[in-house]
Amino acid sequence: IDRAYDAGGGTVYIPKGRYYIRSSLKIRSGVHIQGAGVEACSLQSIMADNVPAFVADTTAKVEHWSIKDLLIEKTVMKATAGTPPQAGIDFEPNRDDEELVNCVMRNCVSENNTGCGYVFYLPNLTGKSAPLSVRFEDCVARGSNHSALAFITGNEHADGPLTGTADGKPLTYHVKRGD
């Protein structure tokens, strides 16, 4: 990811296989992540509590990124706070040519986050954007201060509204005691 960024951007292709994340992956501007396919390419976090699996580059605004054909599984996103939206994971395309296509989250847990468990902030995607395709399979959100799942879409665009699907097997949500 860093080499692609240093070269001015590009696509990082993740070949078939299961990859264990031992430290946070820094998402960088201009870098697109392309997996070999949802059932062929899996990223799995094996980090300690409070270490995020994916982080945005904090030295600059992360712009022009995409995620395509990727499985994120058995990843715990825990106790996030700090930079809004303070979610367990936040997908936030900045331009209409960025993609969130064929992305699956399987057996993931988002817990005790200051914000929502899973956030999709999509107002910058339009009718000319690639159709969104996101799937949750047996994911859990618990103990967060806000909703388990948030989809924020945009205003009216000259190119029409964002198209696509977000679906999946149950997303289980456990509220904090007293909520």
* Tens-digit pLDDT string for the chain (179 aa): 888 888 988 888 889 988 887 777 777 778 888 888 888 888 777 655 555 555 555 555 555 578 888 888 888 887 777 667 788 888 888 888 888 899 888 888 888 888 888 888 899 899 999 999 999 999 888 887 788 888 888 767 788 888 999 888 766 665 443 33
3-state secondary structure (DSSP) of residue 44: strand
**Residue 44 φ then ψ, to 5°:** -135, 130
Q: Are 137 and 104 in contact (CB under 8 A)?
A: yes
